[in-house]
Amino acid sequence: MKKIKISMETNFWATYEIEDPFELINAFFNYCTVDSYKNTLNEVMLYVYKTEVCNKERPGDVFDFHTAVKSFIRGAYLLTFKAKRWKVKEVPEEWQIISQASLNKEEYQDPFLVFEKAFRCKRLDEYEFFLNEIVHVSLSPYREEFDYDLITPHIYLIKMLDAAQVMSERGVIKIKDNVKDNSE
């Protein structure tokens, strides 16, 4: 099987290039919290529909958000190829429903499902286009009309952030090959 090689472009915010999507998740959440990413995403989405500029005092923060989230989206895409060989450690017997965030019970138990669903719904380039568009328009003082769906990628990006947070908290383990050699 051919290995998928995509640069996650982490050197802009992590100061070095990360090649492993699991390592990217750790660096991503060390860079900023999941709540901060979700708040910034929601704020940027709000300003898409306004004639005001998002974060006028510090627009560079929106650029930093853009570079980190673009890397995250690329890492999330690569995680879809890891789902068959890796799994998230077991769900605690009891958990607070709030720890699921936007995930349903099945997605909380297997966060890889979120990434698979997200990239079945939209392609990698569509998520990157969505991110570029919302950041561009939120930093512009003009109102724009959109003839494409901004809601679906927004919802899936929130779910991917929550799924990655679950993976980060619980950890991942490699699935052992249980295939026995019959050549004996």
One-letter amino acid for residue 69 of the chain: V
pLDDT score for 87? 87
The pTM for the full model equals 0.89
Q: Kindly give the interhelix angle for 151-170 and 34-48, rounded to the nearest 10 degrees.
A: 170
Which of 16-20, 28-32, 97-101 shows the lowest mean pLDDT across its residues?
A: 97-101
> What is the share, in percent, of the chain residues with pLDDT greater than 70?
89
Residue 123 has pLDDT above 60, yes or no: yes
Q: Is the distance from CB of 53 to CB of 47 less than 8 angstroms?
A: yes
Residue pair 40/59 in contact (Cβ under 8 Å)? The answer is no
CA distance 176 to 121: 30
Residue 69 CA from chain centroid, whole number: 7
Please give the pLDDT value at position 96.
64
Give the C-alpha separation, 109 to 100, whole Å: 9
pLDDT tens, position by position, 36-89: 999 999 999 999 988 999 988 998 999 999 999 999 999 999 999 988 889 888
Say if CB 54 and CB 47 are below 8 A apart: yes
pLDDT value at residue 182: 39
Six token digits for residue 8: 């996650």
* CA nearest to 21, candidates 117, 164, 153, 154: 164
Query: Which pLDDT does position 135 carry in this prediction?
Result: 95
Sign of the CA dihedral with 17 first, then 22, 23, and 28 last: positive
Tokens at 161, concatenated = 């952030």
Given a contact cutoff of 8 angstroms between Cβ atoms, the answer to whether 107 and 163 are in contact is: yes
pLDDT, tens digit (0-9, with 9 covering 90-100), for 82-108: 888 898 888 777 666 666 789 998 999
